[in-house]
Amino acid sequence: MKNVRLENNIVVEIIPNEATPVKYWYGEEFAAQCVEAPDEVQQNWTYDGTSFTAPQPATPKPAEPTAEERLSAVESAIAAMMGV
């Protein structure tokens, strides 16, 4: 187990083991933002009050078409409208 500091239920800091007890080294106000967490928890994990969840990978944005692909699409549309 380790101690982590939360902001808005997101882990923003891992407290070094050498800095425990947190209240002694950082004071009561800081310690109030900290909870114990399993060793695998890292920054950006979320905490719901009982368990931690790893962040989900971001969904990649579709690739933007290149200038050549856009030009080709416009030319194809024009050709289709002209019946060529």
Residue 61 confidence (pLDDT) = 84
Measure the CA–CA gap between 73 and 84, rounded to whole angstroms. Answer: 14
Residues 6+ apart with CB under 8 A from 42: 11, 14, 54
Helices in 1-84 by DSSP H: which ranges? 22-26, 28-31, 67-82
CB 5 within 8 A of CB 11: yes
Would you kindly state where each structural domain of the chain is located, as residue ranges?
Answer: 1-54
Predicted structure pTM score: 0.65
Q: Spell out the per-residue pLDDT of the chain, length 84, in tens.
A: 999 999 999 999 999 988 889 999 999 999 999 999 999 999 999 999 999 999 988 888 888 989 999 999 999 999 899 887
What are the residues whose beta carbons fall under 8 Å from the beta carbon of 1, sequence distance 6 or more?
A: 36, 37, 38, 39
